Amino acid sequence: MALRRQIRVGSQWMYADEAHKALREALRVMEDEKLADAHGGHHLPWIRRYVFSTDHKWIGIQYGVTALVFLLLGFCLMILMRLQLGWPGQAFSIMKVLGESRAPGGVLLPEAYNQLGAMHGTIMIFLGIVPLAVGAFGNYLVPLQIGAPDMAFPKLNMASYWCYFPGGLLMLASFLAPGGTAQSGWTSYPPLSVIASQGQTWWLVGMVFLITSSLLGSVNFIVTIIQLRAKGLSYMRFPFFVHAQFVTSFLLLLAFPPLEAAAVLQLMDRVAGTSFFLPSGLVVSGQALANAGGGNPLLWQHLFWFLAHPEVYVLILPAMGIVAEIIANNTRKPLWGYKSMVFATVFLGFMSFVVWAHHMFLTGMGTTISAFFQTTTMIISIPSVIILSSLFISLWGGAIRFNTPMMFALAFLPMFGIGGLTGLPLGLAATDIHLHDTYYVIGHFHYVVAPGTIFAMFAGIYYWFPKATGRKLNEFWGKVHFWISFVCINGIFFPMFAQGLAGVSRRLYDGGMQYAHAKQIASQTNPFMSICAIGLLAAQVPFIFNFFYNAIAAAAGRRDEGLGSNPWHATTLEWAATTSPPLAHGNFEVLPVVYRGPYEYSVPGETAEFIPQHTPATEPAPRGGALLPATAVAMREN
């Protein structure tokens, strides 16, 4: 047996091989710093580097952490609501956090319930999911996946975040307004919203900030994707995630402005006394309103839903993108029907602009216009089916790896399926008469967004965490997080369909107990659903610990050395960059050139099990099925 050589380094004896390893590591660190200096990157002051960063990766992380906190907050509001729904009128000491005016003696008042309801919806959609799906995942991944050094307008990107964050804070601050926060639903229908207390004004101003943030972001995404994609990266070689973000950005760009206009009009009604949305002859609490009248409440509904329908596709498309990436990677085969999925996505985006009045079937529509919107709504279900079916079929014959991201991605498929199918009776006016404004609607959209989009968000976090930090999240606790969440979330939302069919209306502070026809089903299901909600909250605890423990460890420099820069053995360009690419230095030492499609897994005739997109076509595939082939273009491995 050979003795291990020892050498003397300074005053220290070391095993030679260990010394060489240390020396290589030291040289690498020095190279890093030299390159950092060569890039003219005199180290930015802390505030420019971490607060007002213009680097898309850091902005993505800012969006991500902020959005996750808002999501948790919105969820906590819902827990308070579910306590009331499960046990109406009961005192809970936790309710006291809302203050005496909202929950005297720990019993939630109906007005306070309405505040929680309006803010839960607003926070989850505008402060939680859109910033997470588009601001966090979009910002972090799109430039990396297209081989760009950053977004096209880095300063505009920073401005987008710093429009979102104060807007979010203003929304939260509205809880402190006299009379409480917005309480007319996230939909803010007039006349109720116009005569509501001051908090509604703060809500409207907050919305203007949030809409502006989204508009600036969408311009950035579209220009980045069109102009900064790498050489050789044609549109049909994009990872599906990029297509999803591309269409999403167009939806945000063109659908949000009418809501901004509507918000201005409602602000005018509330602050300047105009009557855009107030009809003549309104009487409130026995007193006639002293306004000019002549307005139209339906005008608000048209302008609101003109945005809010495309908005729901903004919520789902990035999620589909994430699920597609994870499925392709964890089945070790290309997506089935990639081309159809892309065209379906574009068609979906286009159609989303002509279906909005299916939210207004019960506003006195004539049969002609109702038929028009029913037709367009039925047509728009087709591209969704194409995308979902393609994802399902993509599983066929795959060598499936059941890791945590894949579990969440797999669960997304039937959950989104249930959400989508339950939308069909809502899109047909005859059945919508019965189901509109009932718990059926709440069940439908929560299935799409909660076990749908949010599960996809979790999947994405587990999947891309190693890219951003160099550590994988703990698999065991990930699976615990998944299973408990999956069971509880179905327990909360599935009974809602039964409630809705039985006629339980939404936005009732007692969950239906005041109505004879609703009382029985409400009392049978609401407590069970509330217990599941508490279970769902408990299930997030291991995730929160897992996330922050590993994020802090990574920030302290404790990376998982065995991981490499491509731990999932993926083909898309973001995995060609180093782990946690350095901030403000571009993402790639040399911008990649793309030679292949996005999902070259198990390519017939090739020895390599997977071939990254930037591998030249002419280079012979590495022999022996090496998992990390060398590339002709100089890529800096970690």
Residues 148-177 close enough to bind other proteins by CB under 8 A: 148-150, 152-154
491 CB-side CA count, 13 A: 20
Among 187, 197, 198, 274, binds other proteins (CB under 8 A): 274
The identity of residue 636, as a single letter, is: R
Please report how close the Cβ of residue 221 comes to other proteins at its closest, in angstroms. Answer: 10
Query: How far, in Å, are 340, 371, 407, 496 from residue 419 at the CA level?
Result: 22, 23, 18, 12
Among 292, 421, 541, 552, binds other proteins (CB under 8 A): 292
> How big is the chain by its Cα radius of gyration, in Å?
26
Structure tokens at 569: 């053995």
Please report how close the Cβ of residue 226 comes to other proteins at its closest, in angstroms. Answer: 6
Q: Which stretch binds other proteins (CB under 8 A): 127-135, 262-270, 561-569, 609-617?
A: 262-270
Please report how close the Cβ of residue 432 comes to other proteins at its closest, in angstroms. Answer: 14
Q: Which stretch binds other proteins (CB under 8 A): 268-276, 483-491, 496-504, 517-525?
A: 268-276
334-337-338-341 Cα dihedral, nearest 10 degrees: -140
Instruction: Rule CB under 8 A: say whether 584 interacts with other proteins.
Output: yes
Contact at 8 Å (CB) between 341 and 598? no
Q: What residues between 298 and 337 interact with other proteins by CB under 8 A?
A: 298-299, 302-303, 306
Structure tokens at 302: 């048209």
Closer of 139 and 218 to other proteins (Cβ): 218
Q: Which stretch binds other proteins (CB under 8 A): 274-282, 472-480, 601-609, 617-625?
A: 274-282
Nearest Cα residue to 360 out of 434, 278, 277, 436: 436
Q: What residues between 588 and 617 interact with other proteins by CB under 8 A?
A: 590-591, 593
Closer of 235 and 528 to other proteins (Cβ): 235
Please report how close the Cβ of residue 156 comes to other proteins at its closest, in angstroms. Answer: 8
Closer of 363 and 514 to other proteins (Cβ): 363
Among 213, 218, 490, 579, binds other proteins (CB under 8 A): 218
Please report how close the Cβ of residue 210 comes to other proteins at its closest, in angstroms. Answer: 15
Q: What residues between 360 and 419 interact with other proteins by CB under 8 A?
A: 360, 363-369, 372
Structure tokens at 238: 């994009």
Among 42, 46, 283, 624, binds other proteins (CB under 8 A): 42
How many amino acids of this chain bind other proteins (CB under 8 A)?
72
Instruction: Rule CB under 8 A: say whether 433 interacts with other proteins.
Output: no
Q: Which stretch binds other proteins (CB under 8 A): 39-47, 131-139, 202-210, 500-508?
A: 39-47
Query: How far, in Å, are 54, 330, 408, 445, 478 from residue 459 at the CA level?
Result: 27, 12, 5, 20, 10
Q: What residues between 77 and 106 interact with other proteins by CB under 8 A?
A: none
Closer of 29 and 421 to other proteins (Cβ): 29
Instruction: Rule CB under 8 A: say whether 262 interacts with other proteins.
Output: yes
Structure tokens at 29: 């660190």
* 505 vs 516: CA distance, rounded Å: 12
Please report how close the Cβ of residue 381 comes to other proteins at its closest, in angstroms. Answer: 19
Please report how close the Cβ of residue 356 comes to other proteins at its closest, in angstroms. Answer: 8
Among 257, 535, 582, 622, binds other proteins (CB under 8 A): 257
Nearest Cα residue to 128 out of 453, 482, 347: 453
Nearest Cα residue to 404 out of 550, 524, 531: 550
Q: What residues between 456 and 475 interact with other proteins by CB under 8 A?
A: none
Instruction: Rule CB under 8 A: say whether 435 interacts with other proteins.
Output: no
| Other CB atoms within 10 Å distance of the CB of residue 109 | 17
Q: Which residues contact 140 (CB under 8 A, 6 or more apart)?
A: 56, 57, 60, 61, 64, 464, 468
Please report how close the Cβ of residue 360 comes to other proteins at its closest, in angstroms. Answer: 7
| Other CB atoms within 10 Å distance of the CB of residue 77 | 20
Backbone angles phi, psi at 350, to 5 degrees: -65, -50
The identity of residue 435, as a single letter, is: L
Among 21, 24, 39, 507, binds other proteins (CB under 8 A): 39
Instruction: Rule CB under 8 A: say whether 254 interacts with other proteins.
Output: yes
Q: What residues between 221 and 250 interact with other proteins by CB under 8 A?
A: 222-223, 226-228, 230-231, 250
Instruction: Rule CB under 8 A: say whether 582 interacts with other proteins.
Output: no
Residues in the chain, total: 638
Among 14, 19, 32, 44, binds other proteins (CB under 8 A): 44
In whole angstroms, what separates CA 518 from the centre of its chain? 34
178 CB-side CA count, 13 A: 0
Structure tokens at 586: 């571009």
